[in-house]
Structure formats: C-alpha cells, structure tokens
Amino acid sequence: MQIGQWTFPNQVFVAPMAGVTDRPFRQLCKRLGAGHAVSEMAASNPALWDSVKTARRLDHTGEIDPITVQIAGADPEMMAQAARYNIDKGARIIDINMGCPAKKVCKVAAGSALLQHETLVARILESVVQACAPHGVPVTLKTRTGWDRDNRNALRIAHLAQATGIAALTLHGRTRADRYEGQAEYDTIAEVKAAIDMPVIANGDIDSPQKARAVLDYTGADAVMIGRAAMGRPWIFREIDHFLRTGSTLAAPQLIEIRDLLLHHLQDHYAFYGEYTGVRTARKHIGWYMSNVPDGATLVTSINAIDNTAEQARAVAHWFDQASARNTEAAHRLAA
C-alpha cells in the first residue's frame, strides 16, 4: 500500500476519530499492527490553533513518519493555510475531512456538508494540493458516499479528487444522513475503485478479520480503515493483518495481556493529558476495554467516581488481578 512516496507495511489503517485517536491511541494501534494512523481532525481556522485541544491534536512527539494530519474547514485558502501550518509542525501527509457527519461540523458547511457543494469541493482540493506540492506532501481525502441516499455523488467527488491530484481516497460506505446508523454499503466503494486510478481505502463496519477480507475482495479496495471497532480493542489491527497475510486467525488476547495493554495505555494517556483531564478522558477508554471483558461492567460502574490517575490505574490493576485469581481458582476446580 502506497500513498505518494510513502509505503506502508500493511493495508490496515486507523480511522481518524475526534476524542479517540489521540497520539497515545495512535501509537498503541501501530504497535499492535496498524499499518498507518490518521490524526484527529484539526480545525483549519487559525483562531483555534493556539487552543489546548488543537495543540494536543497537533502533538506528534515520538510518532514515526509518515505523520498524517486531517484538516477540516470550508474555506479553500484557510484550508491551504492549515495544510502549510501542519507541514511546518511535521505533517508528511495532509488528509482532508469531507466525511464527518457531526452537526457542529456540518453546520459550518464543513465535513460531509461539503458534499452538497461540488464546486466548492473542487476549489478546496485544488487549493490544498497546490499548497502541499512545493513541500512534496501528498494530499488524501476522506469522504462519504453522498449527502443522503437520494444524492450519492461519491463517484463525481472521486473524479474531482483524481483530477486535482489527490493521492488516495478513503470512502465510508454511508451517506451523511445515515451518520453511523444501519449497515454500511460497499457497492459505491466498488464503483469508485473501478472508475479511478488512485488508491481507495474502504471504511465502515469493518469489525473482524473476516469482514476485512470480504470488503477488500468485494470492493477491490487497496486497504481498509478501522474506526469504532478498535475502541477498546486495539489488537484488532494485528488480527486483521495476520488474517489477510495468512488466512488463519490469531487467538484472542488473554486477560493478562489486556490488563497490561490497558495499563500501558493509561500511563501514556495520563502523561499526554495531565492529571485533571487525563483521569476524566481515560474513563471512556476503560469502558471500551471492559466491554470486551467478561463482567467488565463491574469495574466501569465504580471507575467514574475516581478523580485521580494513580487511584484509577490501581483500581484497574486490582480488578484484573482479582479476575485472574478467580479464573485460576475456577480452572483448579475443573481440574479436580
């Protein structure tokens, strides 16, 4: 899998998700087999660049190249300025967001709202590509199949993207109106892939190695992008990569490995966000991990009352230690 001059180790990518795919999470996913990860969406408005939230989203300390930064906005020149700003901050690929269905993004005519304005889409793509070209930085586009089911225009957007020099296209198999509801459809992705020459990355409802293989075969896409299925389950990337390469499935991680992964993730998370924000934003990650663990809800119900990082980490470790002891005791009873 290649985008511009960059070659990736596999065809399993991490989707950009606001509030999820921060630097600690991206680095963890890469350690666990993701071939590439795209940053959280960064605003193109210069007035927001000095905010704490944007500063964190543009913090790529310790990440290996190519660093990909996703930018969002509706003004072509502002988007070009944002691209140049992020290149100065270390971006090696710029990704344009035209897929986010969130109301706060669409109400300012950004994200997937742009799919209603194809002329503006073309102007934004041209502006960003031209801004990145002198730096040798490829530009990618993430979008949806259309505004709603009666207005699917992904094929026209794809042709615009190819004509303006976009290096790769990620296509989520839903319209903006669908948000994340219902089933993703892959017919449009297959149609787009058959019609253009650039790499196409399939996104939407890919939650298992078998589903990844089926989507790649059906659409002809060059890679898959995993979003919600990786929340609390970052090992899904190694599972998919292994299955795509060998056709065999990896064993699910043991409780002790999940414990160690979560605790390591928490320490990176605390260091990144600090005490006050870290303990609070970690709660959602703990909840996602525990949804994949038998009886995990027993920890989740108590974790929200903890307001310091050290105690939170101790509570997680204690829960897993007790669960392991219970499993060992049960195994001994069965053996007897």
Catalytic residue ranges: 100
Q: In whole angstroms, what is the distance from residue 315 CA to residue 292 CA? A: 18
Tell me the helix, strand and coil percentages in the chain, rounded to 5: 50, 15, 35
Q: Which two tokens stand for residue 143?
A: 């979008």
Q: In whole angstroms, what is the distance from residue 221 CA to residue 231 CA? A: 23
Q: Nearest Cα to 226, choosing from 7, 30, 23?
A: 30
Q: In whole angstroms, what is the distance from residue 299 CA to residue 255 CA? A: 14
Q: In whole angstroms, what is the distance from residue 16 CA to residue 93 CA? A: 13
Q: Nearest Cα to 17, choosing from 44, 46, 41?
A: 41
SS3 string, 206-275, reads CCCHHHHHHHHHHHCCCEEEECHHHCCCCCHHHHHHHHHHHCCCCCCCCHHHHHHHHHHHHHHHHHHHCH
Q: In whole angstroms, what is the distance from residue 255 CA to residue 6 CA? A: 36
224 touches 15 (CB < 8 A): no
H/E element, 28: helix 23-31
171 touches 202 (CB < 8 A): yes
